[in-house]
Amino acid sequence: MTSDAGPEKGFDLGRLLVERAGERYALHARHLNHQLPRMLHTIGFDKVYERAEGAYFWDEDGHDYLDMLAGFGVFGLGRHHPVVRKALHDVIDAGLADLTRFDCPPLPGLLGERLLAHSPHLERVFFCNSGTEAVESALKFARYATGRRRILYCDHAFHGLTAGSLSVNGEDGFRKGFDPLLPDSAVPLGDLDALERELRKGDVAAFILEPIQGKGVHAAPPGYLRAAQELLRRHKALLIADEVQTGLGRTGDFYAYQHEDGVEPDIVAVAKALSGGYVPVGATLAKGWIFEKVYSSMDRVLVHSASFGSNAQAMAAGLATLAVMEDERTVANARVTGDLLRTRLAALVDRYELLHDVRGRGLMIGIEFGRPKSLKLRGGWTMLQAARKGLFAQMVVVPLFQRHRILTQVSGDHLEVIKLIPPLIIGEREVDRFVEAFTDVMDDAHRGSGLMWDFGRTLIKQAVGSK
Ligand SMILES: Cc1ncc(COP(=O)(O)O)c(C=O)c1O
């Protein structure tokens, strides 16, 4: 704020937030990615939120919103968990000599020990600051350790958006215009023959996959991970599990690959929920021999490092998060509550012809819509599909938010799938609220006319206009 006497001196965060409260959307439009406020205005998501706790946040009028998105999965414990919050206050108040870079502070070792306890076949951890960085590290480690160059990945895969991670992204929409990327190759998820064909070429360092793909919520078919692991071992290539979204209990196991017995990836990437959502964090866990190759001599001590990696705030938040997960049995809750939510939603498939499938594991759930049988609905559906695939799912996300104050997302471009990744602490109350709201929106959609379809026509106009 400036006055006649010039800018006010000193820094007061509370005052700044109050003084500039009305400018958040304008500031974003002016200085950051201007398409975000534009998109939010278009779909009526342009709220002003005041505070958040657990699985809810509240707008300036005091209305509560149920969060079924968890900040793209970072708030596994919900927002502002008191134990994580206290750990952060404590670590800042402790005034530690952090990041000297020439000592071995206690917190990274403690978090490494605790994290590795969940995957006993892995022996070492590299800490970084995000999911994409954890994936970049995994790709570099695999290449160096095997002396090979090529990485295999799945169609529709998402592993982050920096250049290396983008090279193993299975969607053209993300890649286009950013090439040339690394020389990597895609195989369909679940296709062992395609995997073996590529492996036989003898130049593959690793195969990276999400045990359940974020895009569309597609799980690897039963037995696929173990069979893929056997093929990889036979061809001396590594298995990288990207658990950035699925890890830390999301799917009802600590890691999603643990759903299948005998799967022991050589490298595992995690991030998101590891710090309870407060502090950016990422971690790449690997077998000991991989670290021994990468860091093979004292000269190579900094061959792969990150200035902020293993900072005290991230490590303290990570330790507190893992402690809370154990104390509050978060993983078991994700399994039980996820089963309940999925079962109740799956029971609606027979009732609603536009609802085709409910799938996923734990609290990672995909709701897929598809072509209706009745003539009454088919016209509207066909018009939406002709304009742009994914518009019907958007038509559902919007009333869930505007009418029922529930935040969800369409699970990727051109997909008729909504993805639910709520905080892992939700219970029956949230399941009831979601199922009731979803039923109301589905009832509305199956009338074939009314506000929801009017909105569909607006979406069609926009989609056609932007072609
Ligand atoms: C499976 C997976 N890997 C990697 C990433 C990238 O993580 P970040 O956004 O922290 O870079 C994501 C993000 O959504 C993800 O879902």
Final residue in a domain of this structure, among 300, 327, 354: 327
**For ligand 1, is residue 445 a contact (CB within 6 Å)?**
no
Q: Residue 49: in which H helix or E strand, if any? A: strand 49-53
Domain shared by 208 and 346, yes or no? no
Considering the domain boundaries, does residue 5 fall inside one? no
CB atoms within 10 A of CB 444: 18
What's the Rg (C-alpha) of the chain? 23
Residue 6: what pLDDT? 55
**CA separation for the pair 267, 290 (Å, rounded):** 9
Q: What are phi and psi of 180, to 5 degrees?
A: -80, 140
Q: Using one digit for the tens of pLDDT, what is the confidence trace for 346-404?
A: 999 999 999 999 999 999 999 999 999 999 999 999 999 999 999 999 999 999 999 99
Considering the domain boundaries, does residue 8 fall inside one? no
Final residue in a domain of this structure, among 296, 327, 358: 327
Residue 245: what pLDDT? 98
- pLDDT-derived band at 8 (thresholds 50, 70, 90) equals low
**For ligand 1, is residue 390 a contact (CB within 6 Å)?**
no
- For ligand 1, what atom is nearest to the CA of residue 246? 1
pLDDT surpasses 80 at 5: no
Residue 205: what pLDDT? 98
**CA separation for the pair 394, 82 (Å, rounded):** 34
**CA separation for the pair 311, 56 (Å, rounded):** 29
**For ligand 1, is residue 284 a contact (CB within 6 Å)?**
no
Report helix angle 375-387 to 451-465, nearest 10.
Answer: 30
Domain shared by 308 and 167, yes or no? yes
Residue pair 64/405 in contact (Cβ under 8 Å)? The answer is yes
Strands 238-242 and 267-270: parallel
**For ligand 1, is residue 135 a contact (CB within 6 Å)?**
yes
**CA separation for the pair 141, 49 (Å, rounded):** 41
**For ligand 1, is residue 159 a contact (CB within 6 Å)?**
yes
**Can you tell me the mean pLDDT for 22-31?**
97
Q: Residue 216 C-alpha to ligand 1 middle, in angstroms?
A: 15
Q: What is the CATH number of the domain that holds 296?
A: 3.40.640.10
Q: Using one digit for the tens of pLDDT, what is the confidence trace for 93-129?
A: 999 999 999 999 999 999 999 999 999 999 999 999 9
Q: Residue 146: in which H helix or E strand, if any? A: helix 131-146
Residue 50: what pLDDT? 95
Amino acid at position 158, single letter: F
pLDDT surpasses 90 at 415: yes
pLDDT surpasses 50 at 301: yes
**Can you tell me the mean pLDDT for 33-48?**
94
- pLDDT-derived band at 2 (thresholds 50, 70, 90) equals very low
Q: Which of 159, 212, 411 to mutate to test the pocket of ligand 1 (most atoms within 8 A of CB)?
A: 159
Domain shared by 200 and 278, yes or no? yes
Q: For tokens 């590299």, name the residue.
A: 126
Considering the domain boundaries, does residue 439 fall inside one? yes
Domain shared by 51 and 149, yes or no? no
CB atoms within 10 A of CB 180: 7
CA 17, 23, 26, 27 torsion-angle sign: negative
Q: What are phi and psi of 152, to 5 degrees?
A: -100, 145
Query: In the chain, pLDDT over 90 holds for what percent of residues?
Result: 91
Residue 451: what pLDDT? 84
Residue located nearest, by CA, to atom 16 of ligand 1 = 245
Q: What are phi and psi of 48, to 5 degrees?
A: -115, 110
User: Tokens representing 239?
Assistant: 């298995």
Of 138, 160, 255, 253, residue with least CA distance to 207: 138
Considering the domain boundaries, does residue 144 fall inside one? yes
Q: Which of 158, 218, 267, 268 to mutate to test the pocket of ligand 1 (most atoms within 8 A of CB)?
A: 158
Which are the contacts of 373, defined by CB distance < 8 A and separation ≥ 6?
353
Residue pair 426/337 in contact (Cβ under 8 Å)? The answer is yes
Q: Which of 244, 250, 281, 411 to mutate to test the pocket of ligand 1 (most atoms within 8 A of CB)?
A: 244
10, HSE (Cβ side, Cα atoms, 13 Å) = 3
Domain shared by 394 and 452, yes or no? yes
Q: Residue 170 C-alpha to ligand 1 middle, in angstroms?
A: 13
CA 214, 220, 222, 227 torsion-angle sign: negative
First to last CA, the chain: 42
Domain count, the chain: 2
User: Tokens representing 457?
Assistant: 């026509």
Domain shared by 399 and 352, yes or no? yes
Q: What is the CATH number of the domain that holds 433?
A: 3.90.1150.10
Considering the domain boundaries, does residue 11 fall inside one? no
Q: Using one digit for the tens of pLDDT, what is the confidence trace for 180-228?
A: 998 888 999 999 999 999 999 999 999 999 999 999 999 999 999 999 9
Q: Using one digit for the tens of pLDDT, what is the confidence trace for 136-172?
A: 999 999 999 999 999 999 999 999 999 999 999 999 9
**CA separation for the pair 455, 42 (Å, rounded):** 11
Query: In the chain, pLDDT over 70 holds for what percent of residues?
Result: 98
Of 313, 410, 343, 401, residue with least CA distance to 98: 313
Q: Which of 245, 281, 364 to mutate to test the pocket of ligand 1 (most atoms within 8 A of CB)?
A: 245
Residue 374: what pLDDT? 96
**For ligand 1, is residue 245 a contact (CB within 6 Å)?**
yes
Domain shared by 232 and 191, yes or no? yes
Q: Residue 213: in which H helix or E strand, if any? A: strand 212-213
Residue 463: what pLDDT? 83
pLDDT surpasses 50 at 1: no
User: Tokens representing 351?
Assistant: 């009732």
**CA separation for the pair 244, 255 (Å, rounded):** 10
What are the start-end ranges of the H helices in 328-369?
330-346
- For ligand 1, what atom is nearest to the CA of residue 130? 10
Q: Residue 242 C-alpha to ligand 1 middle, in angstroms?
A: 9
Average pLDDT, the chain: 95
Residue located nearest, by CA, to atom 5 of ligand 1 = 160
CA 124, 130, 131, 135 torsion-angle sign: negative
Domain shared by 347 and 308, yes or no? no
CB atoms within 10 A of CB 169: 22
Considering the domain boundaries, does residue 4 fall inside one? no
Cis-peptide, bond into residue 280, ω within 30° of zero = no
Residue located nearest, by CA, to atom 8 of ligand 1 = 131
Residue 359: what pLDDT? 98
Residue 7: what pLDDT? 61
What are the start-end ranges of the H helices in 235-365?
288-294, 312-327, 330-346
Domain shared by 260 and 402, yes or no? no
Considering the domain boundaries, does residue 6 fall inside one? no
Domain residue limits at 419: 23-76+330-465
Domain shared by 45 and 194, yes or no? no
Considering the domain boundaries, does residue 13 fall inside one? no
Residue 467: what pLDDT? 65
